[in-house]
Amino acid sequence: MAMGTEVIIRLTYDEFRRLPDDGRRYELVHGEVHVSPSPNVKHQRTLWNLSSSLSLYSKTHDVGQFYFAPLDVVLAADTALQPDLMFIRKERAAIIEANNIAGPPDLVVEILSPSTAAHDRATKLALYAEAGVPWVWFLDPDAKTVETLKLENGKYYFHSILSGNQTLTSPLFPGWQLTLHELFDFRTGF
């Protein structure tokens, strides 16, 4: 009697791009395909609040470009992630391609949810460090907290941990600020 052997097919990014689009959000982690659940309302409001504020800043300061998921960030031949928000400095615009971001952004923002937090904090953070992403922000709409992490010598260190009435700022965006009250304002306006 022959024993069965499990076969795990690993994909390259080029093979991954040829998969049919079924409307779901996929990431490629060392050749393995991972699916993410769709975001909830708090996630989307947090993303809107942050991106609206940063958009106003970028209109008056020529610092770079912001992009949102779903958009692949290709970190290796077998790894492509989709951060919720990413920023590429103007000086590094060459990594912006027609179908993806071909290299590490200067900032990635992950908005945590109970279903994705462990993946974001463990798997994705390690991949960001390996690729050399200088800044990672974790926004937690349920806890109403922000953690900003800076890469130093291949490891992330907390730059700031914010909660309550504190204000989010960044060395990437001199003069920009957003209070956590504004960031985590979930009112819809109707």
pLDDT tens profile 67-96: 999 999 999 999 999 999 999 999 999 999
Query: Is residue 190 included in any domain, yes or no?
Result: no
Q: Which residue has the higher pLDDT, 133 or 39?
A: 133
Give me the amino acid identity at 59: K
* pLDDT tens digit sequence for 2-22: 555 454 578 899 988 888 888
Query: Is residue 6 included in any domain, yes or no?
Result: no
Sign of CA dihedral 86, 90, 153, 80: positive
pLDDT at 188 over 80: no
* Domain span at 55: 13-183
Say how many C-beta atoms besides its own lie within 10 A of residue 171's C-beta.
10
**pLDDT, the chain, mean:** 92
Q: What is the pLDDT of residue 4?
A: 53
- Residue 24 exposure: Cα atoms within 13 Å on the Cβ side: 10
Average pLDDT over residues 126-151: 98
Average pLDDT over residues 115-139: 95
Say how many C-beta atoms besides its own lie within 10 A of residue 74's C-beta.
23
If one counts the domains in the chain, the total is: 1
CB 89 within 8 A of CB 63: yes
- Report d(CA 5, CA 25) in Å as an integer: 30
Query: Is residue 146 included in any domain, yes or no?
Result: yes
- Report d(CA 26, CA 61) in Å as an integer: 33
Q: Which residue has the higher pLDDT, 26 or 180?
A: 180
Supply the CATH number for residue 147's domain: 3.90.1570.10
pLDDT at 190 over 60: no
Q: What is the pLDDT of residue 1?
A: 47
Query: Is residue 188 included in any domain, yes or no?
Result: no
Query: Is residue 105 included in any domain, yes or no?
Result: yes
